[in-house]
């Protein structure tokens, strides 16, 4: 029997094709596995990166907490070395109630919402509260000229011991210049030791971040904007001081750092307030000039401050006093003469004035002022 020869080339080709197909299937499977592995590695890498980022952010937050704590400890040590009494806001009497009044700033200045608790730096304080009168004095650096020691000497020395016991004088250093702050504290500690020890004299300072958030620092550098920026800052300075003083006393008396007081001024104020025939008064003026010698009920201060913050860019603070009276107490469509008549009945003016303005060199650099109260 004859065997038919095998066509070797065809068989070889078939074998090669079969082998190649198997190889391709193997390679494809291997490639798919590699792609799956690669994708898994990428997902794992992304997950690790996300975890690392979260960890970094957490570490950053922890570092910020540590840094803030370090700054506080450094400041506390520096103040302790200078025999300053430093208190954090959260250890002050009624601190939660007090600090919450400052939350209004976050409504008017949204950039402050990222900050924590808004509160002045308390430099010297015994936490005195429950007195009849708080006297607020805001001070800034005037370069080579200063009237603060003269003002404090006049205000404090013309109180009796019992009047001093029933009051607290608050000096607010509304200046970011640390040299000026230290010079004021040093002067007060040396000149008014007894009042500092008794708690009748306090010193606070306005944190620098408040100014950077509330003021446009670019405007401060432009000559055309200096006057407006100075007036704006002055309104904010008074607002901060008023809110700090609010929980301390029944009444708040606004003074400035370049005035002198008459003999027995405090006795006259106390007698006048206690002998008022009506309690229906808006505020009392013990000086006709600017924002000097204005007496408010402490319970009303929040309303005044909110109004000032609404229009702090528009007018000086003493002009805003006129505006708030008209807005709150003059009826729509009312004859303005009737409103003015009522104004005289509830915006009380005491004569003669008990405070005189003595400063010539203004807190606005380069400006001189010679205003005097003609009723003093």
Residue bearing tokens 């010297």 = 124
Residue 94 lies in a domain: no
Shared domain check, 46 and 131: no
Mean pLDDT of the chain: 79
Shared domain check, 18 and 118: no
Please give the pLDDT value at position 52. Answer: 60
Residue 96 lies in a domain: no
Distance CA 347, CA 355 (A): 18
pLDDT tens for each residue of 294-350: 999 999 999 999 999 999 888 999 999 988 888 887 877 778 788 888 877 788 999
Residue 372 lies in a domain: no
Distance CA 242, CA 301 (A): 7
What's the gap between Cα 227 and its chain centre? 21
Residue 337 lies in a domain: yes
Residue 77 lies in a domain: no
Shared domain check, 272 and 133: yes
- Print the domain residue range for 17: 8-68
What 3-state DSSP class applies to 1? coil
Residue 221 lies in a domain: yes
Shared domain check, 110 and 62: no
Higher local confidence (pLDDT), 186 or 8: 186
Distance CA 79, CA 124 (A): 10
Please give the pLDDT value at position 259. Answer: 95
Residue 374 lies in a domain: no
Domain count, the chain: 2
Distance CA 94, CA 100 (A): 10
Residue 367 lies in a domain: no
CB 124 within 8 A of CB 84: yes
pLDDT value at 111 more than 80 = yes
CB 242 within 8 A of CB 136: yes
Of 290, 303, 296, which Cα lies nearest the Cα of 371?
Answer: 290
- Beta strands (DSSP E) in the chain are 121-124, 131-139, 167-173, 201-205, 249-256, 259-261, 283-285, 294-297, 347-349, 355-357
CB 128 within 8 A of CB 202: yes
Shared domain check, 296 and 152: yes
């Amino acid at each position: 029997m004859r065997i038919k020869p095998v066509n070797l080339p065809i068989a070889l080709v078939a074998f090669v094709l079969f082998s190649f197909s198997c190889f391709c299937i193997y390679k494809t499977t291997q490639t798919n596995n590699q792609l799956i592995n690669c994708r898994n590695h990428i997902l794992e890498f992304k997950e690790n990166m996300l975890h690392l980022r979260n960890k970094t952010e957490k570490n950053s937050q922890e570092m910020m907490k540590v840094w803030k704590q370090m700054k506080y400890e450094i400041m506390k040590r520096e103040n302790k070395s200078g025999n300053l009494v430093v208190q954090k806001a959260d250890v002050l009497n009624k601190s939660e109630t007090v600090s919450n009044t400052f939350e209004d700033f976050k409504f008017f200045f949204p950039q402050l919402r990222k900050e924590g608790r808004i509160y002045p730096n308390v430099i010297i304080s015994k936490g005195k509260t429950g007195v009849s009168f708080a006297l607020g004095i805001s001070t800034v650096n005037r370069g080579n000229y200063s009237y603060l020691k003269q003002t404090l000497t006049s205000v404090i020395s013309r109180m009796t011991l019992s009047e001093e016991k029933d009051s607290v004088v608050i000096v607010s250093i509304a200046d970011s210049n640390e040299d000026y702050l230290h010079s004021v504290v040093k002067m007060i500690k040396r000149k008014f030791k007894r009042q500092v020890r008794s708690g009748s004299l306090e010193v606070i300072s306005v944190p620098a971040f408040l100014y950077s958030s509330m003021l446009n620092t670019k405007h401060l550098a432009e000559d055309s904007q200096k006057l407006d920026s100075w007036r704006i800052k002055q309104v904010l300075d008074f607002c901060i001081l008023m809110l700090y003083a609010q929980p301390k006393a029944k009444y708040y008396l606004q003074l400035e750092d370049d005035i002198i007081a008459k003999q027995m001024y405090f006795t006259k104020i106390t007698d006048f307030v206690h002998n008022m025939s009506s309690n229906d008064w808006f505020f009392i003026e013990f000086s006709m000039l600017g924002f000097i010698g204005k007496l408010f009920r402490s319970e009303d201060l929040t309303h005044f401050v909110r109004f000032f913050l609404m229009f702090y860019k528009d007018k000086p603070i003493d002009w805003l006093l006129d505006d708030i009276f008209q807005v709150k107490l003059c009826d729509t469509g009312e004859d303005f003469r009737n409103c003015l008549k009522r104004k005289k009945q509830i915006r009380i003016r005491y004569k003669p004035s008990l405070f005189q303005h003595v400063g010539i060199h203004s807190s606005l650099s380069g400006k001189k002022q010679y205003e005097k109260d003609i009723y003093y």
